[in-house]
Structures are given as C-alpha cells and as structure tokens.
Amino acid sequence: MSGTRPRAALTHGTLVLLLAIYSLFPIYMMTILSLKTAQEDIHGNPFFVRHPNFEWYLNLFEPSEWVRGELTVPTVPYLVWIKNTAIVFASTIAVTLTAGLMAAYAIGRLRPPGWRWWRRALFATYLLPQTLLFLPMYQFVLKLGLDNSLAALILVYPMLTLPFCVWLLSAYFQRLSPEVEESAYIEGASRWTAFLSIVLPMSWPVIVAAGIFALGTISSDMMFATLFLPNQAHQTLAAGLSGMDVGLEDLTVVAGVNMAALTVVPIHGIFAGAFVRGLTAAMIEGA
C-alpha cells in the first residue's frame, strides 16, 4: 500500500505534464514562428529562434502609409479589429449570461410543465453543426438589414452559446437546495431580491463556467465573422486575420493570430479554477 501512492502520484503528475505540453506546444510554436525572420523561417531550426525579430508584430500597428501625397487607410487595421472584437465579445457574453440566467432559473427552479424536455431540447440544439445553421442565419440577418454590421454577430453568437449555457445553469439551479431562498422569504424578501442577494453570489463558479464556454465558442468562430463582415473596417480579429495573405516572406498574420491567442489564454488561466468548480457543481447524474 505504501508503494502504491507514490506510483499513483507519479503517474498522475506525468499525465498532467504531458497534457500541459500538448496544450501549450501549439502556442509555443506560433510564438517561435512569429519571432523569426523570413530567412530563419526557411533555413533555421523549426523549434527554436536564434535572433528574435518583432518586425511582424510592428507591422500590425503601422498607422498608415503615404501614396502620392495622400494619406491612405491603415495597411492592417489591427487596432480596429481589436476594438470590434472587444465590443462583440463583451456584448455577446453580457446577453448570454443575462438571458441564460433568467431562462435557467425559470427552467431549473420554477420548473414549468415539461421543463425536463425543454432542457433536453436546448441541449439537442447545441449539438447541431454550425455548417447547417449559417445559411438560415445569413438570410435572417439579411432580412433584418444587419449585414456588414457588428450587430449581426451580437445577434447570432448568443444563439450559439445560449443552449449549452442554459442547460448548464439550469442543472445547477435544479440541484440547489430550496432552503437557501426560503430563509430569505421568511425575512420578507421577494423572489427577485433572494435571487440577486443569495442565489446569484452562490452561483458565480457556474456563471464563470458559462462565460468561459461562451468566450471559447465565439473566439473560435471564423465562419460567421467572415460571412457577415466583408468590410475591413467592421471586421473582428477572426474575420480580418482570415482574409490576410499568408506566405513565407510575410509572417504578419502569424503574429496577429498569436497576439490574439495570447489575450484569450490568460483569461482562461485566471478563471480555470472557477471554471472547473462550476462544471463540477452543475454536472449531476441525468443532467
């Protein structure tokens, strides 16, 4: 028995280390590639960089170029893409969490007739592939006149994130003990007051888990962003970077992708603990 625990701990540590290497290796390779010159990229070692070069990152922030005495638009409007992405991400997560909390509380706490089937239907819609959805969504956006506008993504992205978030949050609310709110009712609090002052603070790990899931879903999308935003000035990072030319002589797009990834990874790292606790609290048998 004494020799079993160290062996199990060693096996667990080895598996965690391998998983960490597997997860971080693509980020490492992208970082190395973005720091190479074109010559070193062709003739150098693929796993190391001998002479770090930040030229490709600087190309992302070149303010403008002069042509025949006239000021033209930025070559790569990276800052514009960052601003558009921040607007879309913040709006989508706000809509997803606000609507998701209300719907999940109604399903998991109030339990209207057929609430179990509502939850199953929501989860089933999440399993639909996005390739089957982009055409009807595109027609829907066109009819609303929102094409080539950030409002198109703010409308479409919650449709992709809400089903799973509602399913996840409703599983937690269903499991939460009713005595939590009943004690507030005895003191004269309304259901809304009890929800805001008691249930909501207790639910923050699950809310973080839903928010991280929503962020991961929308940050990995390129299809809808490219389809709905053809104008470069209205594009997000996903749409803008996907339209850039990729070549051995120009690694600017690699630097742009790496910089975009490095802004999302720390967010996931900071909230990783709450994300795991939230999933653990919400996942129950038969959820």
CA distance 123 to 166: 9
> d(Cα 244, Cα 92) in Å, to the nearest integer?
25
Give how far the C-alpha of residue 61 lies from the chain's centroid of Cα atoms, to the nearest Å: 24
pLDDT tens track, the chain, 287 positions = 555 777 888 888 889 889 888 888 888 888 888 888 878 777 778 788 888 888 888 878 876 555 555 555 556 788 888 899 999 999 999 999 999 999 888 888 888 788 788 888 887 877 777 777 778 888 888 888 888 889 889 999 998 888 888 888 888 888 877 777 777 788 777 888 888 888 888 888 888 888 888 888 888 888 888 888 888 788 888 888 877 766 655 677 888 888 887 777 777 777 777 777 777 776 653 34
Go through the domains of the chain in sequence order and give each one's CATH number: 4-53 (no CATH), 78-282 (1.10.3720.10)
195, 207 contact by CB (below 8 A): no
If you ran DSSP here, which 8-state letter would residue 70 be given? E
Query: Number of C-alpha atoms within 13 angstroms, CB side, residue 49?
Result: 17
Q: Distance between CA atoms of 242 and 229, rounded to whole angstroms?
A: 12
Q: How high is the pLDDT of residue 44?
A: 77
Spatial separation of the C-alpha atoms in residues 237 and 260, rounded to whole Å: 7
pLDDT of residue 285: 37
